[in-house]
Chains A and B, each alone.
Chain A
Amino acid sequence: MRIGTILNFNWHMDFKKVLIRLSCVIALLGAVQCSDAQSLFVIGNDIGMKEIKMGYLKEVYQAKYTFWPNKKSVQIALPGTQSEDAVSVYSQVYGKSVKEVQKFWLSIVFQGRAKSPNFFDTSKEMIDYVQRTPGAIGLLKSDAGVPKNLIIKLIP
């Protein structure tokens, strides 16, 4: 009976159903991904680019570069531990908790292998810092209150 069922399996129809369901899942995952990307906004001042790829951004935030392509010194700005943006921004850029990211920076600065980043507890403080610091780059959860000249387009 079971062998018969298998033999009678309508491969064409069932495969079609599976494909449709799989497409729905992929679309749903894509939407979740898009909504994540939309909740991350990059701001920068004189960093020699108006758009930045996500992969490059992650490398910058892992202290792999000291200078931008325009030779300006990289000045990293991050939400502080008290910031509402911290959990979201850290998980998108590092895939880590706030504690783990803080530990990473504490350790790498102590080793003398990177400059200390600047931490800000409010978006306004970060925007002000980026605005007055050439070479500065910052990450925000929302683009509210950000001057247009500071916005760097993030390419997933």
Chain B
Amino acid sequence: MKKHTLFICFFSVLSLNALSQKSKVQFQLFGHIQYNMDQINSEKNSYFSIGEQDLFVTSQLHERISFLGETVVKYDALTSAKFAPSIERAQVKFDMDNHHSIILGKMHTPLNYWNDVFHHGRLFFPTIDRPNALNTLVPLHTLGVRFQGQNMGELNFGYDVVIGNGISSTDIYDVNTNKAFAAGVHIKPFEGVRLSTSYYNDYLTSNKPGVHSGHSGIASSYKGALNFEMWSASVAAFMEKWEFLNEFGYNKTTTDTLGVASNLSNFTYLGVRVNDNWIPYYVIDLTNMSDYDLHSTASDNYKMAVGCRYEFNERCIVKAQVEQIRTGMGHQHSAHENRYDFKFQLAYGF
């Protein structure tokens, strides 16, 4: 009886508390479904796939404090269901004034336009896939603190300075005391146009990919210390008729074993809006990982694609893309692979 009374009291307090709360919570779901038909050398495949299902939540906690969360359920070969949830962003933002804010939590690094703007939303991607550099070079996430400024002056100047867990870390632990550092600046001189540049540095006491790298798929047998630096420059112009994006990246890894390795990437996208719904586009995507690179593995990748995007409205789009990918792996990139793909993607958000 006493227990029941306690329970009733507890839930009464809980429900009163819930009633007194006025925070506005918004949930949105983004996702995509895809069909692929590919030919790798002489082997052919055809398959449908469920893409990342992205639960996006925002809430205003206080006049100056807001929360943003992005949890993605995606393919994971290590689980029995082959799908697993992953926290991609969980950040609390404090607005200091009109232009400056401090963000604490797990976030995307301000490297490259793509990583800073499109995140995991295929609905926002102008093409079917992200640039290959985001799979091989760019550290995508970090968990830490970010100082952000935006929309300053006539040129809409903005900056991002991030100090957080590095490439080898997980969401609850980092293996060393030094933190990764990232800084980016941008201007938006005209509506739809953004010019940006950024820098990233992390000293890995042991070369192993954690959850923040985004390039964990590339295995390297090297487990020693490594200094990882990356510079990037982006030109984005999403105008009324023309859409253009160029992402350039230069990555330098330094080890005591092989010295300096220089890796390069460049992604170019050009689209033209022929009417309110149709946007044909063209993509060239190049990456080159040096033979001296010990963080990942030596490779080069060339991709050329033509495609078309059809926007039903702002919440549902379809894309079709034909592409050719030439890859060279291993020492002097001698193991070649020639691949042709046809991809069809339905992306949605509501």
Q: Do these two chains interact?
A: yes
Question: Which A residues contact B (CB, under 8 angstroms)?
Answer: 64-67, 72-73, 97, 99-100, 102-103, 106-107, 109-113, 115-116
List, in ascending order, chain A residues with CB within 8 A of B156's CB: 64
Interface of B is mostly: strand
List, in ascending order, chain A residues with CB within 8 A of B97's CB: 66-67
Contact A112 B117 (CB under 8 A): no
**Which residues of B6-35 are within 8 A (CB) of A?**
26, 30
Shortest beta-carbon distance, A49 to chain B, in Å?
A: 15
B76 within 8 A of A: no
List, in ascending order, chain A residues with CB within 8 A of B311's CB: 99
B135 within 8 A of A: no
Contact B349 A106 (CB under 8 A): yes
**Given contacts A110-B119, A110-B124, A66 and B95 within 8 Å (CB-CB):** yes
Could you give, for residues 79-120 of chain B, a 1 whenever the CB lies within 8 Å of some chain A CB and a 0 otherwise?
000000000010101010110010100010000000011010
B276 within 8 A of A: yes
Select A112's contact among B89, B313, B349, beta carbons within 8 Å: B89
List, in ascending order, chain B residues with CB within 8 A of A107's CB: 117, 124
Contact A116 B58 (CB under 8 A): yes
**Nearest opposing residue in chain A for B96, CB measure:** A66
Shortest beta-carbon distance, B130 to chain A, in Å?
A: 15
Contact A112 B68 (CB under 8 A): yes
List, in ascending order, chain A residues with CB within 8 A of B349's CB: 106
B216 within 8 A of A: no
B63 within 8 A of A: yes
For the complex of A and B, list the 8 residue pairs with the smallest distance between their C-beta atoms, beginning with the closest: A103-B314, A102-B314, A64-B151, A73-B63, A112-B68, A66-B95, A65-B98, A99-B314
Select B121's contact among A65, A72, A97, A110, beta carbons within 8 Å: A110
Shortest beta-carbon distance, B8 to chain A, in Å?
A: 33
Distance A145 CA – B121 CA, assembled complex (angstroms) = 40
30 contacts between A and B (CB under 8 A): A64-B98, A64-B151, A64-B156, A65-B151, A66-B97, A67-B97, A73-B64, A97-B276, A99-B276, A99-B314, A102-B314, A102-B315, A103-B314, A106-B123, A106-B124, A106-B314, A106-B349, A109-B58, A110-B30, A110-B56, A110-B119, A110-B121, A110-B124, A111-B117, A112-B89, A112-B93, A112-B103, A115-B58, A115-B60, A116-B58
**Nearest opposing residue in chain A for B121, CB measure:** A110
**Which residues of B47-74 are within 8 A (CB) of A?**
56, 58, 60, 63-64, 66, 68
Shortest beta-carbon distance, A96 to chain B, in Å?
A: 9
Shortest beta-carbon distance, A52 to chain B, in Å?
A: 16
Distance A103 CA – B107 CA, assembled complex (angstroms) = 22
List, in ascending order, chain A residues with CB within 8 A of B68's CB: 112
List, in ascending order, chain A residues with CB within 8 A of B151's CB: 64-65
Given contact pairs A99-B276, A113-B150, a sample of 14 additional A-B residue pairs in the complex whose CB atoms are under 8 Å apart: A64-B151, A66-B95, A66-B97, A66-B98, A72-B63, A102-B315, A103-B314, A106-B315, A107-B117, A109-B58, A110-B30, A112-B103, A115-B58, A115-B60
Shortest beta-carbon distance, A128 to chain B, in Å?
A: 15
List, in ascending order, chain A residues with CB within 8 A of B107's CB: 112
Shortest beta-carbon distance, B57 to chain A, in Å?
A: 11
Shortest beta-carbon distance, B27 to chain A, in Å?
A: 11
Contact B314 A111 (CB under 8 A): no
Distance A65 CA – B276 CA, assembled complex (angstroms) = 30
List, in ascending order, chain B residues with CB within 8 A of A102's CB: 313-315
Select A115's contact among B66, B98, B117, beta carbons within 8 Å: B66
List, in ascending order, chain B residues with CB within 8 A of A64's CB: 98, 151, 156
**Which residues of B288-311 are within 8 A (CB) of A?**
311
Interface centre among B64, B93, B98 (most CB of A within 10 A): B98
Could you give, for residues 210-243 of chain B, a 1 whenever the CB lies within 8 Å of some chain A CB and a 0 otherwise?
0000000000000000000000000000000000
Shortest beta-carbon distance, B117 to chain A, in Å?
A: 6
List, in ascending order, chain B residues with CB within 8 A of A113's CB: 150
Shortest beta-carbon distance, B76 to chain A, in Å?
A: 23
**Nearest opposing residue in chain B for A134, CB measure:** B63
List, in ascending order, chain B residues with CB within 8 A of A109's CB: 58
Distance A131 CA – B268 CA, assembled complex (angstroms) = 48
**Nearest opposing residue in chain B for A69, CB measure:** B98
Could you give, for residues 145-167 of chain B, a 1 whenever the CB lies within 8 Å of some chain A CB and a 0 otherwise?
00000110000100000000000
List, in ascending order, chain B residues with CB within 8 A of A99's CB: 276, 311, 313-314
Distance A134 CA – B163 CA, assembled complex (angstroms) = 36
